[in-house]
Amino acid sequence: MTSVIATSEGTGQQVEKTNLLGLPLPALEQFFLDIGEKKFRAVQVMKWMHHHGVTDFEEMTNLGKALREKLAGCAQIRPPEIVSQHDSNDGTRKWAIRVDGGGLVETVLIPDGNRATLCVSSQVGCSLDCSFCSTGKQGFMRDLSAAEIIGQVWLAIDSYDAFQTSNSRVVTNVVMMGMGEPLLNFDNVVASMDLMMEDNAYGISKRRVTLSTSGVVPALDALAQVSEASLAVSLHAPNDALRNELVPINKKYPISVLLESARNYIDAQSDKKRVVTIEYTLIAGVNDQREHAHELAELLKDFPCKINLIPFNTFDQSDYQRPSGNAVSRFWQVLVDAGYIVTVRTTRGDDIDAACGQLVGQVVDRTRRSERYRQAAEQNNDQAAGQAT
Ligand code: SAH
Ligand code: SF4
């Protein structure tokens, strides 16, 4: 692997090599100008990275030798490291990925007919602590860099050798629905979504790149100025009293404020036919009753949306239960009768625990365990060293 640290000529001073993987086109162009090169080099290098999956400057045959050497001295193309990969019987593939500093995140690819949706993480953990979310239970560790976010798309395509066959259609859709709250890592998420939609990178249509938020309203207002990605709002409750319990950020930005911001977001888009996806995790006995469905139908009356129902995925530290199939159908029917377009997210990759947050939960546990072993071993060494002196 390319080393992260370079020694700047003459001074002996150590400088960090710029990871080019996460730079959107204007930033990559600026990088080339800054190192005294022509702007058009940015498109060439961007295509090598994101169309061909090349990470070694030596393989970039349309760059002269001098430029390749210069780049090797000051830059790198470094995707995050895969810790484990799991394939489900139903075709779902899930990766645990180690990012700089040792945190772990997950990425899931869910093929479905002609489509394949990649579920991408934006943070290690999450600070918002929604009551039903295993990522929230881990607390917040850190934001992912843009290279680590777009690197998940890169890794998914690379793992099918699809760069080599020029078949980057391995990923047709991306949803920012892995670990973390994307709007709390605004700049890096916007930069990586730009790369997803950029023709010289992945060229995925703006309708097929979706940001999901639990409702960080000021950031959503700001997003409307800079992004054309599709929007999903994690609502989960039809009234503020219940939503305050499930999604604590609701106390700061209640439902009416959130829905208004979401409406402004789609109003700001040039494509006027767009709607917001309302996500609603159904939790048995908590928010899945007939009256909740009626209240939701009333709340969203006149709001341009479709509704995605997600039966709760159970995990160890939670007492919540997944509702029965009947309860889900009953909820669905009320909304359909009220005229909504409603989908129910089927659980995929059950045999590899590909449901929200679970694989990482296991890996984190294992890492914690090995961390304990490491500490215990160090303690033993210290004691041994102490005894020796
Ligand atoms: N932070 C963002 C995106 C990541 S969560 C958000 O909250 O929207 C992606 C989706 O999975 C959200 O709708 C979230 O509410 C849902 N989710 C989280 N934990 C879940 C669980 N245990 N069961 C079902 N859905 C869950
Ligand atoms: Fe964070 Fe989203 Fe989980 Fe809430 S549901 S804790 S916002 S990742």
| pLDDT tens per residue across span 170-182 | 999 999 999 999 9
CB of residue 250 inside a 6 A radius of ligand 1 = no
Task: Give the pLDDT confidence of 223-261 residue by residue, as tens digits.
Answer: 999 999 999 999 999 999 999 999 999 999 999 999 999
* Residue of 173, 153, 149 whose CA lies nearest to 163: 153
Confidence of residue 364 (pLDDT cuts 50, 70, 90): low
Structure confidence at residue 189 (pLDDT): 98
Task: Give the pLDDT confidence of 265-322 residue by residue, as tens digits.
Answer: 999 999 888 999 999 999 999 999 999 999 999 999 999 999 999 999 998 889 999 9
- Is there a binding annotation on residue 305? no
Kindly name the residue from 29, 106, 148, 228 that is annotated as catalytic: 106
Please list the residues that pair with 82 across neighbouring strands.
97
CA dihedral 28, 29, 31, 37 (to 10 degrees): 140
CB of residue 181 inside a 6 A radius of ligand 1 = yes
Q: Tell me the helices (H) and strands (E) count for the chain, helix number first.
A: 12, 16
Query: DSSP letters of 26-86?
Result: HHHHHHHHHTT--TTHHHHHHHHHHTS----GGG-TTS-HHHHHHHHHHEE--PPEEEEEE
Atom of ligand 2 at shortest range from CA of 133: 3
Distance CA 264, CA 257 (A): 11
The answer to whether the CB of 104 falls within 8 A of the CB of 97 is yes
Distance CA 58, CA 77 (A): 12
Higher pLDDT: 195 or 346? It is 195
- Rounded average pLDDT over 5-26: 75
Atom of ligand 2 at shortest range from CA of 126: 1
* Residue of 327, 262, 332 whose CA lies nearest to 297: 332
Distance CA 230, CA 232 (A): 7
- Is there a binding annotation on residue 133? yes
106 as an active site residue: the answer is yes
**Res. 376: pLDDT tops 80:** no
Q: What percent of the chain has pLDDT above 70?
A: 86
Distance CA 196, CA 203 (A): 6
Determine which of 146-155, 247-256, 378-387 has the lowest per-residue pLDDT on average.
Answer: 378-387
**Res. 96: pLDDT tops 60:** yes
Please list the residues that pair with 110 across neighbouring strands.
117
**Res. 154: pLDDT tops 80:** yes
The CATH number given to 81-370 is 3.20.20.70
Confidence of residue 100 (pLDDT cuts 50, 70, 90): confident
Domain boundaries, the chain: 3-76, 81-370
* Max avg pLDDT among 123-137, 152-166, 340-354: 123-137
> Which ligand sits nearest to residue 181's alpha carbon?
1
356 as an active site residue: the answer is yes
Structure confidence at residue 315 (pLDDT): 87
- Ligand 2 mean position, distance from CA 385 (Å): 45
User: Cα angle vertex 251, ends 246, 256, to 5°?
Assistant: 95
- Rounded average pLDDT over 186-191: 98
- Is there a binding annotation on residue 73? no
Structure confidence at residue 168 (pLDDT): 57
Structure confidence at residue 228 (pLDDT): 96
Structure confidence at residue 206 (pLDDT): 96
CA dihedral 198, 202, 206, 212 (to 10 degrees): -110
CB of residue 352 inside a 6 A radius of ligand 1 = no
Higher pLDDT: 46 or 347? It is 46
**Identity of residue 178:** G
Mean pLDDT across the chain: 88
Question: Residue 328, Cβ neighbours under 10 Å: how many?
Answer: 18
Q: Does domain 3-76 have CATH number 3.40.50.920?
A: no
**Res. 366: pLDDT tops 90:** no
Distance CA 265, CA 227 (A): 9
Confidence of residue 381 (pLDDT cuts 50, 70, 90): very low
Structure confidence at residue 133 (pLDDT): 94
Confidence of residue 169 (pLDDT cuts 50, 70, 90): confident
